Amino acid sequence: MGLKSFVEVHPDSHFPIQNLPYGVFRPEPGSEPRPGVAIGDYVLDLSAIASAGLFDGPILRRSDCFHQPNLNKLLGMGRPAWTEARATIQKILSSTEPTLRDNASWRQKALVPMDKAEMLLPVAIGDYTDFFTSMHHTKNCGIIFRGPDTPIPPNWFHLPIAYHGRASSVVVSGTDIVRPRGQGHPTGNSPPYFGPSLKLDFELEMAVIVGPGNELGKSIDVNEAADHIFGLVLMNDWSARDIQAWEYIPLGPFLGKSFGTTISPWIVTLDALEPFACDAPKQNPLPLPYLTEKVSKIYDISLEVRIKPAGEEQAHVVTRSNLKHLYWTLTQQLAHHTINGCNLRPGDLLGTGTISGPEPESYGCLLELTWNGQKLLSLGGTTRKFLEDGDEVIISGFSKGNGYNVGFGACSGKILPSL
Amino acid sequence: MGLKSFVEVHPDSHFPIQNLPYGVFRPEPGSEPRPGVAIGDYVLDLSAIASAGLFDGPILRRSDCFHQPNLNKLLGMGRPAWTEARATIQKILSSTEPTLRDNASWRQKALVPMDKAEMLLPVAIGDYTDFFTSMHHTKNCGIIFRGPDTPIPPNWFHLPIAYHGRASSVVVSGTDIVRPRGQGHPTGNSPPYFGPSLKLDFELEMAVIVGPGNELGKSIDVNEAADHIFGLVLMNDWSARDIQAWEYIPLGPFLGKSFGTTISPWIVTLDALEPFACDAPKQNPLPLPYLTEKVSKIYDISLEVRIKPAGEEQAHVVTRSNLKHLYWTLTQQLAHHTINGCNLRPGDLLGTGTISGPEPESYGCLLELTWNGQKLLSLGGTTRKFLEDGDEVIISGFSKGNGYNVGFGACSGKILPSL
């Protein structure tokens, strides 16, 4: 284990000194948003640390990146700045370093109890892209929507398929989601269905938060792509399956998705995840050269989705999956995104797509878990085909280290009835 | 005609006092970006007008909306502010008003020769959506990509189909476009094609610039949608047909589009276009109630695309179309976009999709004009199936009034070779 903080951290906590995920928060209602990192049950206020002159390295000493309402400026500064920030923060929080530990006034200013902090979106998201990189999810959706013949389209094994999502409706964990209204397939000669979605679903995803971008017209080499990734968040890409099924021919998902996408407030950095890197699945056929990596890795992150029906105390686990089930790596996704010269910008959000594992109990959405409403999913005393009003969906995820966890906290949202 | 400016305006100009389109510009290299309106061969610097205290109406008197690097703040203020601004600017520029006309120092500061002004993107685009609302374009693409059986999908007549586009790569007219690289269909058992796109195309479009948005979870009524539209721009949604055809199953266009989208620097307001409103096409079947308008109108705007090959002096007209060919109105598009609760924000860009008319000479892209490369298009002494390196594509558009034009200027871009 080694490294230890003077801040007490419970062994089950997602936020030991080995993690130090970044977020943006208000320490009290009405105060200015500012960057922070999670440590145990506290948020370390990075604007206070910066004001105290404790970021004393060559890159961050004169930067105002911690006096911003979002993390975009830090993200744009790239890996050297992130490495320096992590080293400084780990030192400041370490049990052997007296600077903050023994200064009650600084501690008072800089360590905010997490239950007092209001977490906000950590970044201003310029563009949000959602990939489709779990083979199991792709196969299941293909069978459900298009039948058992070639459920995986032939292009899928050659490129990480994706679509542009809606950036404006990305919200932070804890934000309620209003059940969308929209059109669904007509029955017989009637006009299309119109009303509240009858097939509201979650999608268990993770997403990359982009660091430095690229110039329009240039591409990012797949072997350098990791330097353009600041970290990962949990993501719930809420989906209205009836709206989606009716609208998506021929241009893809639109209103079936754009009513809301929830991300975790904490961005766990690639540095914190590095101990949990593992080999990515073998790819067959071999990818084209621009997608061929010297080292092809993914991260072992255990993921879980729970649903808490209205009025119940307890949330019920409905699926357990893992990021490592993805076919295409995060760096392949990012490199592919830029191969045509498309420019990424700091703070862009690149979703993985639904992360389904091979077994039915690891499927990442209700569409798959209930096979488009053909099976009932048990939630203790009640059942679900799709989400009902008042349901709260809670995604969590963590990697298990030797005596500590590196986790993401929760990514949750509750369904409110349609207006 | 009536209204006349003291600034000389040629009868063929797109920018008489009846128009007053908004843009953002630098009067000289390195100076701060600022809002302006076009008048004849000049740009009126609205920051200079504001600094001179000439915006003296109740809404704008104390606003800093003209001291901004983009128009987003003005857009968010809504129609009362736009009406006041238009009245003030028309008065200031009128031939009978001495305030600016007779003040050489103010004129010197406020009227910048257009050929000296560097035009920039007029808005910070939060999200870009592209619709698919020309029936002729939809039908032609359907036949080309999916064959002659039901070329128009059954959902098309019930909802304005759209997809999310890429906001980061929207550029202002005059920006070069690098030919994208990417994958295309494999031939036989070979791996997919990889290299510069061999089927690079333009798309003749217009786009709405959104004014005030809506709160996440709420919808905008179709009969109030016009108050959320600031104005229109010309748009070229550059498309790589080979990349698009291979990648778009099942989630829609992605890298075949996201390498660049060009808009005109000038936003022509709905106020300026009002004299050119005309009845929208009859819709059959009748749209659902949420898409049913009390008044269903579109604008009569003549559109033209020219191509200027590298090294040639002359640009050749390749198509002539008109905005009035659209099946779904701009207000229906906007209302549909929000019916699920998706939030629009000031400065959002809503493309119409390719505006093809009924006749072959009014088709809005090379895919249709050359029928996916099966026919050659003549450009004077040379021919095209798709765009070649060095080709400049110039879209223009205007409405013809009684003795004046209300126009958009040009929306142009030149193809640079792949890297």
Which residues on B lie below 8 Å from A127 (Cβ)? 166-168
Buried b / exposed e along B189-204 (16+ C-beta atoms within 10 A): eeebbbebbebbbbbb
Contact (CB<8Å) B183/A247: no
Please write the tens of the pLDDT for every residue from B105-156: 999 999 999 999 999 999 999 999 999 999 999 999 999 988 898 899 999 9
Rounded-to-integer distance, Cα B185 and Cα A393, Å: 40
Is the separation of the CB atoms in B276 and B242 below 8 Å? Answer: no
Does the pLDDT value for residue B158 go beyond 80?
yes
| Closest Cα in chain A, distance from residue B191 (Å) | 8
Does the pLDDT value for residue A145 go beyond 90?
no
Interface check B336 vs A, CB under 8 A: yes
Is B22 marked as binding a ligand?
no
Is the separation of the CB atoms in A399 and A405 below 8 Å? Answer: yes
Which residues on B lie below 8 Å from A168 (Cβ)? 126-127, 213, 216, 342-345, 348
Please write the tens of the pLDDT for every residue from A169-205: 999 999 999 999 999 999 988 999 999 999 999 999 9
Mapped onto helix, strand or coil, the DSSP state of residue B364 is coil
pLDDT for residue B133:
97
Contact (CB<8Å) A171/B216: yes
Contact (CB<8Å) B127/A249: no
Phi, psi of B74 (to 5 degrees): -60, -40
Is A274 marked as binding a ligand?
no
Mean pLDDT across B86-97: 98
Which B residues 277-316 touch A at CB under 8 Å? 285, 288-290
Interface check A126 vs B, CB under 8 A: yes
Please write the tens of the pLDDT for every residue from B26-36: 999 999 999 99
Interface check B155 vs A, CB under 8 A: yes
Contact (CB<8Å) A159/B342: no
Rounded-to-integer distance, Cα B68 and Cα B58, Å: 19
* Selection from A277, A307, A315, A417 nearest residue A370 by Cα: A307
What region, left, alpha or beta, does residue B395 occupy, with left being phi > 0 and alpha being psi -120 to 50 degrees?
beta
Phi, psi of B199 (to 5 degrees): -135, 60
* Residues B59, B276, B353: CA angle, nearest 5 degrees: 90
pLDDT for residue B341:
98
Sign (positive or negative) of CA dihedral A320, A322, A323, A324: negative
pLDDT for residue B7:
98
Confidence of residue A33 (pLDDT cuts 50, 70, 90): very high
| Closest residue to A163, CB basis, from B153, B254, B285 | B254
Mapped onto helix, strand or coil, the DSSP state of residue B190 is coil
pLDDT for residue A333:
98
| Closest residue to A255, CB basis, from B126, B168, B342 | B342
| Closest Cα in chain A, distance from residue B378 (Å) | 28
Does the pLDDT value for residue B1 go beyond 60?
no
Contact (CB<8Å) A336/B255: yes
pLDDT for residue B4:
96
Give the HSE-up count for residue B385: Cα atoms under 13 Å, Cβ half-sphere.
Answer: 11
Is B354 marked as binding a ligand?
yes
- Provide the token pair at A383: 């059942």
Please write the tens of the pLDDT for every residue from B370-413: 999 999 999 988 999 999 999 999 999 999 999 999 999 999 99
Please write the tens of the pLDDT for every residue from B2-54: 799 999 999 999 999 999 999 999 999 999 999 999 999 999 999 999 999 99
| Closest Cα in chain B, distance from residue A105 (Å) | 40
Buried b / exposed e along A73-100 (16+ C-beta atoms within 10 A): bbbbbbbebbebbbebbbebbbeeeeeb
| Closest Cα in chain A, distance from residue B176 (Å) | 9
Please write the tens of the pLDDT for every residue from A50-87: 999 999 999 999 999 999 999 999 999 999 999 999 99
Contact (CB<8Å) A165/B167: no
Is A261 marked as binding a ligand?
yes
Indicate whether this complex's ipTM tops 0.90.
yes
Does the pLDDT value for residue B416 go beyond 90?
yes
Is the separation of the CB atoms in A349 and A263 below 8 Å? Answer: yes
* Selection from B341, B183, B327, B314 nearest residue B247 by Cα: B183
Which A residues 246-265 touch B at CB under 8 Å? 246-256, 258-260
* Selection from A377, A359, A304 nearest residue A140 by Cα: A359
| Closest Cα in chain A, distance from residue B50 (Å) | 29
- What's the DSSP call for residue A46? H
Mean pLDDT across A277-293: 97
Mean pLDDT across A112-116: 98
Is the separation of the CB atoms in B21 and B35 below 8 Å? Answer: no
| Closest residue to A259, CB basis, from B166, B289, B340 | B340
Please write the tens of the pLDDT for every residue from A286-304: 999 999 999 999 999 999 9
Does the pLDDT value for residue B73 go beyond 90?
yes
Mean pLDDT across A362-366: 98
CB atoms inside a 10 Å sphere around CB B155: 18
Rounded-to-integer distance, Cα B293 and Cα B290, Å: 8
Rounded-to-integer distance, Cα B53 and Cα B58, Å: 12
- What's the DSSP call for residue B228? G
Contact (CB<8Å) A341/B181: yes
pLDDT for residue A150:
86
pLDDT for residue A170:
98
Is the separation of the CB atoms in B170 and B263 below 8 Å? Answer: yes
**H or E element that contains B104:** helix B104-110
Mapped onto helix, strand or coil, the DSSP state of residue B324 is helix
pLDDT for residue B333:
98
| Helix, strand, coil tally for chain A in percent (to 5) | 20, 30, 50
Is the separation of the CB atoms in A50 and A44 below 8 Å? Answer: no
Is B224 marked as binding a ligand?
no
* Selection from B124, B121, B9 nearest residue B401 by Cα: B9
Please write the tens of the pLDDT for every residue from B227-280: 999 999 999 999 999 999 999 999 999 999 999 999 999 999 999 999 999 999
What region, left, alpha or beta, does residue B388 occupy, with left being phi > 0 and alpha being psi -120 to 50 degrees?
beta
Residue to test with chain B: of A254, A283, A352, most B Cβ within 10 A = A254
Mean pLDDT across A298-311: 98
- What's the DSSP call for residue B126? S
Is B244 marked as binding a ligand?
yes
More confident residue, A150 or B184: B184
Which residues on A lie below 8 Å from B127 (Cβ)? 166-168
pLDDT for residue A146:
84
Confidence of residue B164 (pLDDT cuts 50, 70, 90): very high
Mean pLDDT across A12-17: 98
Does the pLDDT value for residue A1 go beyond 70?
no
Residue ranges of domains in chain A, CATH in brackets? 22-120 (2.30.30.230), 128-416 (3.90.850.10)
**Given the structure tokens 């079936």, which residue do they identify?**
A256
Residues constituting chain A = 419
